[in-house]
Amino acid sequence: MSEEMRGGNRTGLAFGYLVICAAVGILVSWYLDVWWYFFPIMMIAGGAYLLAICFLASRASSKGGSIFVYLLLWGGAMLILGVEWILNDLYPGNLILMLVVFLVFIGGVAILGYMMRK
């Protein structure tokens, strides 16, 4: 199979999941009757998907250290930012605490990435 075919398959998978994330975002926003929750719900669903792929890929391959850290970073960041967006709406005034949580996550992933390279 050529490299273009494999890249096309990944693009199709990403597009398909983006459509599913949009559908989930629309359904949850419609159910809650808060339409601007559409974007954070999409971020939460996308982050959860990337984290699932991250942990499945780490079990399947013993040499996938850098892809593990990459997917953990972006999946976790999307998930945390989506949750923090909604929490900031529900409990305003906690911006500093949310920034600290996000920075601790980024620092933890950086340490994990450094330890996996050794």
Tell me which residue range forms the domain holding 30.
Answer: 3-117
Residues 32-62 have pLDDT tens digits of 999 999 999 999 999 998 888 888 877 666 6
What residues contact residue 51 under an 8 Å CB cut-off, 6+ apart? 71, 72, 75, 76, 79
Given a cut of 90, whether residue 104 has pLDDT beyond it is: yes
Q: Which is higher by pLDDT, 103 or 62? A: 103
Given a cut of 50, whether residue 67 has pLDDT beyond it is: yes
Res 42: pLDDT: 93
Domain count, the chain: 1
Cα dihedral sign, 6-55-50-29: positive
Reported pTM: 0.78
User: Is residue 58 within 8 Å of 68, Cβ to Cβ?
Assistant: yes
